[in-house]
Amino acid sequence: MMNHRQRFLATMRYQPRDRCPLYDFSFWDETLPEWHKQGLPAWVMQQTSEQYFGTDLSLFTHSIKELNCRIDVPVGLCPLFEEQIIEDRGDYEVKRQNDGVFVLRKKYMGSIPQHEGHTLVDRASWREHYLPRLDPSHPQRYGDNFQQRIAALSSDDYPWPRFLPVGSLWGWLRNWMGVENISYVVYDDPAWFQEMVVALADCTLGVLERLFAAGVRFDAGAIWEDMCYNAGPLLSPQHFKQYLVPQYQRITSLLRKHDVDVIWVDCDGKIDELAPLWLEAGVNTMFPIEVGTWGGDPVAFRKQYGKDMLLMGGVDKHMLAAGPRKIEQEIKRLTPLVDEGGYIPMPDHRVPPDVPFENYVFYCDAIRRLWGRDTALEPIHRAPAPPSDVSGATLWKP
């Protein structure tokens, strides 16, 4: 029987495996509380959802399993800005986030907050508030238990896939400045834009070099960008190729030097125009392949790019609200691609609260049967009280 790491690597390298990994992309903050009203036991939270639904791994939940797959060494801002509530507006609040951005946030059922203002507004604020926070040697990045985590992750018999944070070259700048401001900077001050992109790459490389020098071994690198919307990219392919591709190539070359051969980019929206440029830059895995009104589809990507492009995601989160028949149809449609390998299916973003609880249970049971082949599956703890291993769970140790 394979462990989780062996199964991940075999899948992404088109090698024989016992079954497909069964991952999910977590949930909106409001989803599980809504499902509690529909019968989900109260002990099931983001961090314990895997035990109830029987998935191998739930990404971005800070569950014990997910923490076993990554090392908490930030490659971005360090130290972060202090978070503050600036103003209470009833159903909304104005908050300064830990990235220095001021946002108007709905207190309930709010997915993407609205920008109210930015600390990063010009070259002076960049050099005063942001550039000093991109020092790869800052001791707060590594923490007191750094050597202990390195020893655990580097063990030859480590059972979990090891995911390496690779940061962002454009998405963070978009967050820090706002999409309108960063779009102007590309034209009004391209030298400054390039300075910021290079600084982000330098910080990432500096952190990665320290990790590799310390003996850490990883299986996949994770980039975050979110630089597309429903009609295409927010940065032109020409500028992408000019400014971003060379910096991605610096990073992906270092990763491959250390045998990291799965490098994914997390980008929502219609990524069609940027996908071939990411491949050129050495980023070989697209995630989460958001379906949306533009019809993102992992099957179509495989037909276009063949096995050169690895895939993660691509299960329409809104389809989960459509009922068992539609859910099973979609699972069966994707099954040939799942069987071929190089693809880990999961919802194309966090599951929203309009998906009925019983539908998601049906989905999880169906993927365990059809994609999990009823082989080496995680146990399901569907009980009114938490299983005994949840509260006492600890990080894996060799």
pLDDT digit string (tens) for 229-270?
999 999 999 999 999 999 999 999 999 999 999 999 999 999
> Is the same domain home to 253 and 276?
yes
| Domain end call among 118, 138, 163 | 118
* Mean pLDDT on 43-48: 94
Of 293 and 33, the one with more pLDDT: 33
> Is the same domain home to 88 and 236?
no
pLDDT over 60 at 373, yes or no: yes
> Is the same domain home to 351 and 327?
yes
pLDDT digit string (tens) for 173-192?
999 999 999 999 999 999 99
> Is the same domain home to 300 and 236?
yes
Mind giving me the DSSP string for 87-150? EEETTEEEEE-TTSEEEEEESSS-SSPEEEEES--SHHHIIIIIGGGG-TT-GGGT-TTHHHHH
pLDDT at 106: 82
> Is the same domain home to 322 and 344?
yes
| Domain end call among 118, 137, 164 | 118
Compute the distance between CA of residue 227 and CA of residue 232 in angstroms, rounded to an integer.
9
pLDDT over 60 at 397, yes or no: no
pLDDT digit string (tens) for 113-155?
889 999 999 999 999 999 999 999 999 999 888 888 888 888 8
> Is the same domain home to 100 and 221?
no
Q: What percent of the chain has pLDDT over 90?
A: 83
> Is the same domain home to 110 and 178?
no
| Structural domain for 22, as ranges | 4-81+119-391
> Is the same domain home to 235 and 125?
yes
> Is the same domain home to 182 and 126?
yes
Residue 333 forms part of a structural domain: yes
pLDDT over 80 at 293, yes or no: yes
Residue 397 forms part of a structural domain: no
Residue 40 forms part of a structural domain: yes
pLDDT over 70 at 388, yes or no: no
Residue 398 forms part of a structural domain: no
pLDDT over 90 at 167, yes or no: yes
| Domain end call among 64, 92, 118 | 118
What mean pLDDT is reported for the chain?
A: 93
pLDDT at 90: 87
Q: What is the pTM of this model?
A: 0.93
Domain with residue 33: its CATH number is 3.20.20.210
Residue 208 forms part of a structural domain: yes
Strands laid side by side in the 262-266 sheet = 163-167, 220-224, 262-266, 285-287, 310-315, 343-347
> Is the same domain home to 260 and 371?
yes
Q: What is the domain count for the chain? A: 2
> Is the same domain home to 87 and 203?
no
> Is the same domain home to 46 and 195?
yes
Tokens at 188, concatenated: 């009004």
Comparing 66-75, 298-307, 312-321, the range with the smallest average pLDDT is 66-75
